[in-house]
Amino acid sequence: MVNKRIEKLIQQLENDQIDLIAINAGQNLAYFSGLHFHKSERPAVLLVGKGKAPAFIFPEFEQEKVANAAFDIAPFAYTENLSTWGDAFKKALHYFNGHRSMVGVEPTAMRFLEINLLQRASSEIHITSAAHIFNALRTVKDNEEINSIRQAIQIAETALKSTIPFIKVGITEQEIANELVVNLLRNGSEPELPFAPIIASGPNSANPHAVPGRRKLRDGDLILIDWGARKNGYISDITRTFALGSVDDELMRIYKIVKQANDAARQTLPPNFISERIDFAARNVIKKKGYGKYFIHRTGHGIGLEAHEEPYIAANNSTKIVSGMTFTIEPGIYLPGKGGVRIEDDVVASNDKLITLTSLNRELKTL
């Protein structure tokens, strides 16, 4: 699998007239090499170019991990002595004859640390964005990747079901978040969750990315829960909104509207398999009901190794949706000072429809 991904990456380089790709620690490094390195003060950079095995610049104490890589790597290790870092970068570029190279990087992941070391290794290299290359290769998922997402969804859904009995009047948002995290780990999620769960109650639920706080739940609250799990590196991202006791009529009304919007987007069929058309399907439902100005974010985003990646389901995005793309559908209505509703599902595109991977009920559940 890794070798095939490297081969596809090299083919993209040839098509785009880029000499080398520099991939630093993070999800792209894991995707293309199978090597798992967290970003730290020590750089870890994979250089990929045609005609030679990829070069890997890394801390010397990680040699055993690199020796067990799933494909051939030309190793360039450095020590804890900072003066050896630049030398490792120079040797790696020399290995590729890359002193006058166009070097593509992931613009949202590559840091000044790595870029500075590359440029100091050769003043004649040119750094450019290779975001389009990474997106082209990672956006369409294979069956193994989709299966991992399915497993992450199952873990997340089971964890929430275990958490619901814990939710009651007087408990805090933080306490619910802590219980949910424990249940995610207990049910098989990898320790590195895709994001910290969002638990937002009452007026806080009108903030789409609220941080769980010490607010105690009250009768009549809406409770927005946005959470996910990770399995085999792949993530799930789900949101459900609950009622604690009896909520007022307007909150009930916006819940029904958001559910209709979620249904409309998930039921989009060809030829409308374009990001902006799926966004329109959800947004138009909310707009017609008079709440358009309270739907304040895009309808969805891609999921995979990261919680937010291509494709983005948003207005003015003409990306064509093709089989194998996995993304969220998550319309919402947020009434400042009162409360908000979001219903988020994970879907995968097939040839003729969107398949919903999440299975939790979308009817309003009263706790």
Full DSSP string of 151-173: HHHHHHHHHHHHHGGG--TT-BH
What share of the chain has pLDDT > 70, as a percent?
Answer: 100
What distance in Å separates the CA atoms of residue 156 and residue 186, rounded to the nearest whole number? Answer: 11
**CB of 262 within 8 A of CB of 346?**
no
What distance in Å separates the CA atoms of residue 197 and residue 194, rounded to the nearest whole number? Answer: 9
What distance in Å separates the CA atoms of residue 307 and residue 156, rounded to the nearest whole number? Answer: 14
**pLDDT for 1 beyond 70:** no
> What's the confidence (pLDDT) of residue 13?
87
pLDDT bin (cut points 50, 70, 90) of residue 68 is confident
Q: Which of 327, 314, 2 is nearest to 137 (CA)?
A: 2
Report the SS3 class of residue 262. Answer: helix
pLDDT, tens digit (0-9, with 9 covering 90-100), for 234-283: 999 999 999 999 999 999 999 999 999 999 999 999 888 999 999 999 99
CB proximity list for 314: less than 8 A, separation 6 or greater: 275, 276, 279, 298, 299
Identify residue 192 by its one-letter amino acid code: E
Report the SS3 class of residue 188. Answer: coil
> What's the confidence (pLDDT) of residue 168?
97
Report the SS3 class of residue 47. Answer: strand
Q: Which of 92-101, 133-142, 161-170 has the lowest mean pLDDT?
A: 92-101
- Angle between helix axes 143-163 and 173-186 (nearest 10 degrees) is 130
pLDDT bin (cut points 50, 70, 90) of residue 14 is confident
**CB of 29 within 8 A of CB of 23?**
yes
What share of the chain has pLDDT > 90, as a percent?
Answer: 89
pLDDT bin (cut points 50, 70, 90) of residue 293 is very high
Identify residue 90 by its one-letter amino acid code: K
Q: Which of 89, 82, 78 is nearest to 115 (CA)?
A: 89
> What's the confidence (pLDDT) of residue 89?
96
| Number of neighbours of residue 310 by Cβ within 10 angstroms | 21
For residue 339, what is the enclosing H or E element? strand 339-342
**pLDDT for 99 beyond 90:** no
Q: Which of 13-17, 49-53, 142-146 has the lowest mean pLDDT?
A: 13-17
Identify residue 92 by its one-letter amino acid code: A
What distance in Å separates the CA atoms of residue 26 and residue 37, rounded to the nearest whole number? Answer: 6
> What's the confidence (pLDDT) of residue 97?
86
> What's the confidence (pLDDT) of residue 126?
93
Looking at the whole model, is its pTM more than 0.85?
yes
CB proximity list for 226: less than 8 A, separation 6 or greater: 197, 198, 237, 238, 239, 342, 344
**326 phi, psi to nearest 5 deg:** -120, 135
What distance in Å separates the CA atoms of residue 243 and residue 34, rounded to the nearest whole number? Answer: 43
> What's the confidence (pLDDT) of residue 215?
97
| Number of neighbours of residue 266 by Cβ within 10 angstroms | 20
> What's the confidence (pLDDT) of residue 84?
96
Identify the bridge partners of residue 344 per DSSP, sorted by sequence position: 239
Output the average pLDDT for the chain.
Answer: 95
> What's the confidence (pLDDT) of residue 23?
96
pLDDT bin (cut points 50, 70, 90) of residue 70 is confident
> What's the confidence (pLDDT) of residue 105?
96
> What's the confidence (pLDDT) of residue 17?
84
